Amino acid sequence: MAKYNFDFKLKVVKEYLEGPLGYGLLAQKYGVSDKKQIRMWVNSYKSFGEDGLRSKRSNTVYSVQFKLDVLNFKRQTGASYIDTAIKFKLNNPSLIANWKRLFLNQGIEGLKEKPKGRAPMSKRKSKQSKQEKAMSREEQLEHENELLRLENAYLKKLKAFQENPNAYLEKHKQSWHSNSKKKDSN
């Protein structure tokens, strides 16, 4: 359950927008631990309206390409996490910081979707994992080829973005919207 409900957030944001109190005084008045939280609510409200204050019921799954586009935009323009989140219609700027950390630590592999939950315990699974460890030379080369293809595609897009950011953004505007749609969780 969320710590602050929608009605509370809306009340605080409207009081900030209509009244003389700043972030710090509102945080003290309502017992919010950090004034940055209120600033984030106000920015979300200004960018997305009341929907920016609502808690998400299901997780949105973003493609690796979308994540790379967001990180490239932030790096190239020097925009803040909040400005980048607004540009790409993301409600949570810390999501971008998490993607950046994963990319720096693990590369493109870190941005890929990972299965949720604990793996089932079975004897068959342990035999499979031993087989996976002992990949044939051909399988290893195929895996390496796939990684190189991904890296090559990433570098091409990065170069195109560096040469002309506005043209690149216009060209890929449609794909961002289709990549950011929610996957069915059934």
Q: Tens digit of pLDDT for each residue in 23-72?
A: 888 888 888 888 888 888 888 888 777 777 777 666 778 888 888 888 88
Mean pLDDT of 84-90: 82
Q: What ranges in the chain are assigned the alpha helix state H?
A: 6-18, 23-30, 35-48, 64-77, 81-87, 93-106, 123-133, 137-163, 165-171, 173-179
Assigned token pair, 81: 């996490």
Amino acid 145: pLDDT? 93
Q: How many CA atoms lie within 13 Å of 44's alpha carbon, on the beta-carbon side?
A: 22
Whole-structure pTM value: 0.48
pLDDT in tens, 150-186: 999 888 888 887 888 777 666 666 555 555 554 444 4
Nearest to 68 by CA among 59, 80, 57, 76: 76
Handedness of CA 129, 133, 134, 138 (dihedral sign): positive
28 contact partners, CB below 8 Å, separation of at least 6: none
